[in-house]
Amino acid sequence: MSGDHSHHSHDGHDHDHHDQDAHDHDHGEGCSGHSHGVGHAHVHAPKNFGPAFAIGIGLNVAFVVVEALYGFLSNSVALLADAGHNLSDVLGLGVAWLASELVKRAPTPRFSYGLRASSILAALFNAVFLMLTVGAISLEAIQRLGSPEPVASKTVMIVAAIGIVINGVTAWLFASGGKSDINLRGAFLHMASDALVSAGVVLAGLVILFTGWLWLDPAVSLIINAIIVWGTWGLLRESLSMSLAAAPNHIEPDKVRGFIAKRPGVASLHDLHIWPMSTTDIALTCHLVMPAGHPGDPFLHDLAADLATRFRINHTTIQVEIDPQLACVLAPDEVV
């Protein structure tokens, strides 16, 4: 239990499958005086995204300097807003990168799961920070709507077009990891939303160039911000739930309960808990009432492997109780 149960794939590719090499052990006295089994089903962690973070941060730091400079020179709130957004993304990428490294730290007696939960906190930080940034940009845009100011449209369009390329490339670097890790999805959403902002700025600059509609600059900012909020809401909700130890979205606890209850020899189960240890690692604990006696290590081994394969639950702890008449204090669902 003190080991690191996630391994990097040797071939450098993401793996959707999970190894079934679960190791089970008996430990001490259980709630009703009987042993319990612990299953560790090891999974392949996503490939190393360190280079992607380094490239993304380097590109965006350089672009923030250029964009802020030309934003002041061209008097474009949209361009300045985009620079501010890019600056927030540098911080967001840095936090996500730090978390992706912290999850690799070995467990200690005090931090028995290591620092894996840091990836959940990073995803939550990214979602909240993105919302705050959008709010600040929207406030500035609303103020500009009341008193539009002239902008250097051609300069705005050129700089923002460069932003589309930089942000699009950076988002692409994280696209594959975002499917299975909300920490990486936070990084992807940050960069994809920036590419969207830059595209909106180019469009606004083009229309202003031909029509002179100065109000379009802040108006486009507000529209883009609304789209970003809509796209980020899911990340905010999921990362907040995971930080409160809620079962991940892809897992239905009732189906897990039913799956375990159907195993041979299981009369009933209680004290079932499913929670994320990180954005990629999921733990489960429960008590099984098995009147026929302790089923042995093979039963626990197979159950842990099946839970990993079927539900992506890769850290399983099972306690077996033999006497159905001896009430477990943790049996009622409302008891934690």
**CATH, domain 6-46+247-321, list 3.30.1330.40, 3.40.50.1000, 3.30.70.1350, 3.30.360.10:** 3.30.70.1350
Please say whether the beta carbons of 39 and 22 come within 8 A: yes
User: Is pLDDT at 49 greater than 60 in this prediction?
Assistant: yes
Question: In the prediction, which pLDDT does 14 show?
Answer: 41
Average pLDDT over every residue of 24-31 = 40
Residue reference for tokens 């300045």 = 80
With residue 6 as reference, give the H or E element that holds it. strand 6-8
| Of residues 37, 8, 12, the one with CA closest to residue 24 | 37
Instruction: Give the count of beta carbons closer than 10 Å to the beta carbon of residue 236.
Output: 18
Question: In the prediction, which pLDDT does 276 show?
Answer: 93
User: What's the pLDDT tens digit per position in 230-261?
Assistant: 878 888 898 999 999 999 888 999 999 999 99
Residue reference for tokens 């699009």 = 168
User: What's the pLDDT tens digit per position in 154-180?
Assistant: 787 888 888 889 889 888 888 877 667
Distance, CA of 268 to chain centre: 34
Lowest-confidence segment of 3-7, 80-84, 141-145, 195-199 by average pLDDT? 3-7
Please say whether the beta carbons of 63 and 34 come within 8 A: no
More confident residue, 173 or 38: 173
Average pLDDT over every residue of 145-162 = 79
Share of the chain above pLDDT 90, in %: 24
Alpha-carbon gap, residue 40 to 193, rounded angstroms: 38
Alpha-carbon gap, residue 32 to 49, rounded angstroms: 46
Domain boundaries, the chain: 6-46+247-321, 50-243
Please say whether the beta carbons of 164 and 202 come within 8 A: yes
Alpha-carbon gap, residue 317 to 40, rounded angstroms: 8
Question: In the prediction, which pLDDT does 212 show?
Answer: 82
More confident residue, 182 or 149: 182
Average pLDDT over every residue of 273-277 = 94
Mean pLDDT of the chain: 79
Alpha helices in the chain (DSSP H): 50-74, 77-102, 118-146, 153-175, 182-211, 216-243, 253-261, 297-311
User: Is pLDDT at 222 greater than 90 in this prediction?
Assistant: no
In this structure, CATH architecture of domain 50-243: Up-down Bundle (1.20)
Question: In the prediction, which pLDDT does 8 show?
Answer: 36
Average pLDDT over every residue of 22-51 = 47
Which stretch, 95-99, 228-232, 313-317, has highest mean pLDDT? 313-317
Please count the CA atoms within 13 angstroms of the CA of 160 that sit on its side-chain side: 30
Alpha-carbon gap, residue 24 to 36, rounded angstroms: 10
User: What's the pLDDT tens digit per position in 277-307?
Assistant: 988 889 999 999 999 888 889 999 999 999 9
Question: In the prediction, which pLDDT does 10 show?
Answer: 38
| Of residues 229, 211, 208, 180, the one with CA closest to residue 49 | 180
Question: In the prediction, which pLDDT does 78 show?
Answer: 65
